[in-house]
Amino acid sequence: MSAKGKLHFIGVVEKAGEEESIVRIFQDFCAGLKDVEGFSHLVILYWFHHRDNKKERGTLLVTPKKHALNVEIGVFASRSPSRPNLIGLCVVELLKLEGCKLAVRGLDALEGSPIVDLKPYLPRADSFPNARVPDWTLRGPAT
């Protein structure tokens, strides 16, 4: 199978903080922020840039570090940053938009992380209160 497609980073995490992070969208993509301030929350897709090497991309089995259980699972059953495609996902609260900069709360990306995409969080489409998860995911801190 031939791999088609080209990824364009649209921005970068300028500041990563517990209470507030700053995401700068590059000027070429800034027009795409029109009307984003109407949403209280956004889905941010970002690149695990510190893991961009052959070893981390070859990871298929992981032991979730933030959970009390010591169990090996498949990478696709985890939120591990080591994976074949280094895409991270996080739902954040949008605090403010100034020009091409977003101030957000709850971002788990590191400073310097490239931004892959932004999407609005839509509760009717993105929230499934009765979703089923394995018991081990109920232990440890929120991810």
Residues 59 and 115 in one domain: no
Q: Supply the pTM of this predicted model.
A: 0.88
Residues 58 and 42 in one domain: no
Residues 93 and 37 in one domain: yes
Q: How does pLDDT run across 57-97, given as a tens digit for each residue?
A: 999 999 887 765 678 999 999 889 999 999 999 999 999 99
> What is the structure's pLDDT at 2?
63
Task: Kindly state whether residue 113 falls inside one of the protein's structural domains.
Answer: yes
Q: Residue 41 belongs to what domain range?
A: 9-48+86-122
DSSP 63: -
Number of structural domains found in the chain: 2
Strands (E), the chain: 11-15, 21-25, 41-47, 61-62, 73-74, 87-98, 101-105, 114-120
Q: How does pLDDT run across 20-58, given as a tens digit for each residue?
A: 999 999 999 999 999 999 999 999 999 999 999 999 999
Task: Kindly state whether residue 133 falls inside one of the protein's structural domains.
Answer: no
**Pairing relationship of beta strands 61-62 and 87-98 according to DSSP bridges:** unpaired
- In the structure, what pLDDT confidence band is assigned to residue 134 with cuts at 50, 70 and 90? confident
> What is the structure's pLDDT at 136?
76
Confidence check: pLDDT of 141 > 70: no
